[in-house]
Each structure stands twice: as structure tokens, then as C-alpha cells.
Amino acid sequence: MTLFLQVCVEKLLPFSSFANAFHQPTFIKQPMYKKAIYEVLQVASTRAGKAFLACPKSDQTDTSKSVDLHNNQMIDWAVTGFQPTGPKGLEPPDEERNPYKEVYPDVWVEPEAAAYTPPPAKKPRKSTAAEKPKVKEMIDEGTRERLVYEVRQKCRSIEDICISCGSLNVSREHPLFAGGMCQSCKVRREEEAIEAMNSGPAVGVRTSCAAQIAIKEDPWCCYMCEKGQKGVFGLLERHTDWPCRLQHFFANNHDQDFEQPKLYPPVMAEKRQPIRVLSLFDGIATGLLVLKELGIQVERYVASEVCDDSITVGIVRHQGRIMYVGDVRNVTRKHLHEWGPFDLVIGGSPCNDLSIVNPARKGLYEGTGRLFFEFYRLLHEARPKEGDNRPFFWLFENVVAMGVSDKRDISRFLEEVTAAHRARYFWGNLPGMNRLFGKVRTITTRSNSIKQGKDQHFPVFMNEKEDILWCTEMERVFGFPVHYTDVSNMSRLARQRLLGRSWSVPVIRHLFAPLKEYFACV
């Protein structure tokens, strides 16, 4: 009977190590060990061609004694170094080296590979925090130069590499140039473009060049916008439709339950016209304030508002540029034809009967919740007719703490997924609405909303004493100019109510910034 044992590869030793590895006490006590040594040395003696003396004739009937004698002779031969051939004489012939390689080609491992012991795998570190996506990949300069050389020699397509960092993990096309873009550069590009949108052109194209080139091109004209250029700069080939590609780059493409809204191509600068706005539930004219801050020219701003204090703030702060039309329920199709056409429709119906914070709320179909349908009605009346392809945008806002069914019904009527989930819900078709934006602390119409925590601590210190936020400080929190609501001897509580019902200026500026690509700017 042949003995088979399962042994780890790294524990196997060559015949030359027999003298050091052989253990005499185990050989005496363990029959299995003795039998294994006997079989191994039989193979070794066969390969070396070594013959041993036979047992005496008188002992031929005693098989165990014969085996022990034969075994002892082989052990003495092995301990002394397998003379006369030595360990080299024990190597198997070529035909016996890999007897199972052809029979089991999928599981056969070469000796060199079998001798390698991989390091133990590290256990993953447990963490309760959400795993962040890997956004950084180190690409050395030599790798980038090699990839550029391969592209020049037409050995590799420029679409297969990220033209920003040189990574081969391409996730999408670059929006501006022919080439690829990896996920980390996509995230970085979005962040840079958001900063540019908040302070300059919505495209966010940056140019770096030597001073001599800038002087030569004085007045400077970016090569992205130059009409006479061919659009090829070395390996960079500009997309002819890069404005549309950039728009799709920022389009909302996640969690969509409805068809993606229509994307309008940006309008050439010389063809842009001032914007015409219809603002429903206008409040303190946050929309007009933001459009002014962005430098967008406003031809007409029609506002529906019933709060006298809000109307007073709008009249005083905007010098009568707002056309107030009263209750939204009294606005008809005929009125819209007289005042329009409109390029932007915005609004946020009262949230009292929608907020789950209000235990006496009546929902979307009763009380002030029904005013949403007035926005829906006028939005459809103001839309361009079929065949009119002029850019038309809209934005609807409401409280985030609304019931699931109310949110679903609003989305079903507007047929748009919520494009931004911040301190409020926003529905709309503004370009790039899914861009990230930081959180702002909540201040409502109630005076106790500005106190912090269960113990109702005051939020600020004045002369080492706790104090509430002044109205001017609340205005700065919402992004309004200081004393924006300080009109008509209005009380502090009345001013806080106006601010609590208003939109956050930084958020609306963030959403309105792409409109600079469609309408005339100062």
C-alpha cells in the first residue's frame, strides 16, 4: 500500500536536507513515519541506481526483519550524503518531472511558483462611517509622457486615457476636448466649475499661458470661445459642440423616476436678451436680488404676493422695478399673454399645511397646500407653445419635511425628479441643479427657532453674555444685504417672519448661475 499525505508546499524539502530533517526518535516510535521514510528512500535509490545487500536466506521468511534491514541500509546511505552520486543523482528524469502537467493543465503550478509564499492578507479595518469613493490615483510623470508618446505614434487612442491626469481608468468622455476622463477628475472638474459659476461664466474655462502670449492676444480671447480657431492645439482637439456637452456633464443623472428635462444649448453672447421673470409667492423678492447680483439684465419682473410687509420690502429695495399683481388665484391666461412671454417661472407655495412639523397640517389638497396647483396651472400657461424652442426655465421650492405622499404627488404633477435635496426641496429644469452645495442652519418664522439644542441656548455671545441673533445677523445668514428688511418701522419679529419665509440667497445664486449662458448680462 502506498502512503499519501497532504502536505503544504512550503514544508517540502529536497533530498539533500535528509540528514538534518530525519528524526530518529519519531522513526522508532511512529510506524507511519517509518513507512514514509522507507517509501521515499526507495524512490531515491531507484533514481540513483543504488543497490543494497539482500537479506540472509535464513531470514527471507521474516518480512518485517527484511524491511527493517533494507530501511537501515538506505538510511545510512542517505545520512552519509547519497554517495557516490550525491543529491544531484536523485533528480528525476525529464519524462517524470511533470507527470500531471498535461493531465491537469488548469491546476498545475510550476515549481518556481509553488515555492513562493504570498504574504498573509490584511484584515479590512472595520468602520461605522460610510466608505468614501477612491478619488485619487498616483500617475507619475514618466507614465504620462509614455502615454502621450503612444498617442502621438497612434499606438493608443486618446479616448482611452484621462487627458487631465493620464489615468487609464476612464469613466466618461471629456466634455471640452476629444479624450477620456476618470472619475476623480470628473469630481474635481465639477468642484472647479461650481466655483467658477458662482463668480464668473458658467462654463468655468481656465486659461494659463506665458505673458508674451497674453500680450500678443491683447485683448485676450479664450481659445475655447474664438470662432476663427480650428479647435486643434497639439493633441487637444476641441469639441465643436462643447457647450452642449458641458451642459450634459452637469445634468441630473441619478435616481430619475421621470424623463430627463429638456436641455437647451447655450445662446451665443451677441444673441442673448434680458430675462423676463414670473415670480409666484414672491416673498421679499429674493429672485430679483439674485439676478441682479449675478449681473443678469432683467427686462420684466412680475410678482404675485399678498403679504403687505413683503411687498413693502420689494418696492423699497428695488425702486419700483417689480410689477405686483396680487393674489395668484386671480391671475388668468389672459394676464399672462399681456405680461409675457416669460423666460423663467419661479415660486414656492406656503409650506404650513405640507410640513410634518405642523400636527394640524391639511396636506396638499386642502388649505394652503392647494396653492401648489396654482403654480402648476400658471407654469403650463407660461410654457412656450409647440415649435417655440426658446430657452424656458422654471423652479419650484418647498419644505423638505413634507409627507412622502405629498412629495410624490408634486413630483408626479411636475414630471421632474427632485434635482436638489438641501434644507428645502427644489423641482425644476435649471442646468446643473444637482451640483452640491453646503448646508445652512434653519431659521423659521418662530422666534424660538434660533435657539440651540434641548436646553434652548442662545446662539451667540455679546460682551460675554448669551444673546439672540440680531435681524442684521439673520439677514447675513440668509445672504441678504444688511438692513434689507429694515423698512417701514417694521418690528424685529415681523422681520424674522419675512426672513423665515424667504429663500436662501446663496442657494438661489447657486441655482441661477447657469442662466448667464442664456440671457444678457451687465
Contact criterion met (CB below 8 Å) for 347 and 281: yes
- pLDDT of 448 reads 47
473 and 371 share a domain?
A: yes
- For 44-54, b/e burial (b = at least 16 CB within 10 A) is bbebbebeeee
Residue 461 covered by a domain: yes
Cα–Cα–Cα angle for 493, 495, 499, rounded to 5 degrees: 115
Residue 79 covered by a domain: no
Residue 124 covered by a domain: no
247 and 319 share a domain?
A: no
Query: How many whole angstroms separate alpha carbon 45 and alpha carbon 54?
Result: 14
Among candidates 124, 166, 19, 15, which has minimal Cα distance to 80? 19
Residue 234 covered by a domain: yes
pLDDT in tens, the chain (522 residues): 455 556 666 677 787 788 888 888 888 888 888 888 888 888 888 888 887 766 555 555 556 677 778 788 888 888 888 888 887 777 777 666 655 555 555 545 555 444 445 555 545 555 444 444 444 455 667 777 888 888 888 888 888 888 888 888 888 888 888 888 888 887 777 655 544 444 444 444 444 455 555 555 556 566 666 655 566 767 788 887 777 777 666 654 444 455 556 678 888 888 999 999 999 999 899 999 999 999 999 999 999 999 999 999 999 999 889 999 999 999 999 999 999 899 999 988 877 777 776 777 777 777 788 888 898 899 989 988 888 888 899 888 876 667 777 777 777 777 653 333 334 566 777 776 655 554 444 444 444 444 444 444 444 444 555 556 778 888 888 888 989 998 988 888 888 888 888 888 888 888 888 899 899 998
For residue 146, what are the contacts with CB-CB under 8 A and spacing of at least 6? none
- CATH of residue 508's domain is 3.40.50.150
Cα–Cα–Cα angle for 142, 145, 149, rounded to 5 degrees: 140
Catalytic pick from 162, 182, 185, 351? 351
Three cell numbers written together for 30: 511512529
317 and 464 share a domain?
A: yes
Contact criterion met (CB below 8 Å) for 49 and 12: no
Among candidates 258, 309, 310, 316, which has minimal Cα distance to 279? 310
Element (H, E) at 411: helix 404-414
496 and 455 share a domain?
A: yes
195 and 296 share a domain?
A: no
Helices and strands (H, E) in the chain, number of each type: 18, 13
Which residue is it, cell 488548469?
106
228 and 373 share a domain?
A: no
224 and 286 share a domain?
A: no
User: What angle do the packed helices 286-294 and 505-512 form, to 10 degrees?
Assistant: 60
360 and 228 share a domain?
A: no
346 and 377 share a domain?
A: yes
**Which class for 450: exposed (0-12), middle (13-18), buried (19 or more C-beta within 10 A)?**
buried
Residue 187 covered by a domain: yes
Contact criterion met (CB below 8 Å) for 333 and 381: yes
Query: How many whole angstroms separate alpha carbon 508 and alpha carbon 393?
Result: 14
Residue 246 covered by a domain: yes
For residue 162, indicate whether it is catalytic.
no
Contact criterion met (CB below 8 Å) for 409 and 442: no
User: What angle do the packed helices 31-48 and 63-79 form, to 10 degrees?
Assistant: 60
Instruction: Give, in order, the Cα–Cα distances in Å from 164 to each of 175, 190, 449, 462.
Output: 12, 13, 47, 50
- pLDDT of 275 reads 95
- pLDDT of 464 reads 54
Contact criterion met (CB below 8 Å) for 378 and 331: yes
Residue 325 covered by a domain: yes
Residue 397 covered by a domain: yes
Query: End-to-end alpha-carbon separation of the chain, Å?
Result: 98
416 and 385 share a domain?
A: yes
- For 345-367, b/e burial (b = at least 16 CB within 10 A) is bbbbbbbbbbbeeeeebeebeeb
Instruction: Give, in order, the Cα–Cα distances in Å from 198 to each of 201, 207, 346.
Output: 8, 18, 20
229 and 289 share a domain?
A: no
367 and 401 share a domain?
A: yes
Query: How many whole angstroms separate alpha carbon 298 and alpha carbon 6?
Result: 84
Quote the domain boundaries for residue 159. Answer: 141-201+219-251
Q: How many domains does the chain have?
A: 2
